[in-house]
Structure 1
Amino acid sequence: MRPYRNEYTMLDVPPLVQRFVFPLVVGLGMLLGKYRKYREAPAPHRD
């Protein structure tokens, strides 16, 4: 969801978790190679 953060907002998740925990989880996922299958995903829509 990171590249699409301008299109989607998760209001149920506290801002502290969105700001600190989510980036840690994403970084760990990148280190483990969990995002390779999304390399060729379409670019996010910009207004």
Structure 2
Amino acid sequence: MSEAAKQAEIVVTPADEARFAAIAEAAGLFDIDARKNVQAAFQRITEELDNPSK
């Protein structure tokens, strides 16, 4: 987890990722690779928290 995420007290567990992926897939928001998409999204969020774009 990134330092910025820790400071913001953002904790995303594997169970959180799985739950989000299941909800998103059920809602038709992601394809069959929902878990990979969710992991990539969390990675992008973490990177943005570490290095905010201006």
TM-score, reference length from structure 1: 0.36
Structure number having the greater helix percentage: 2
Higher relative contact order (CA 8 A, sep 6+): 1
TM score, norm. by length of structure 2: 0.33
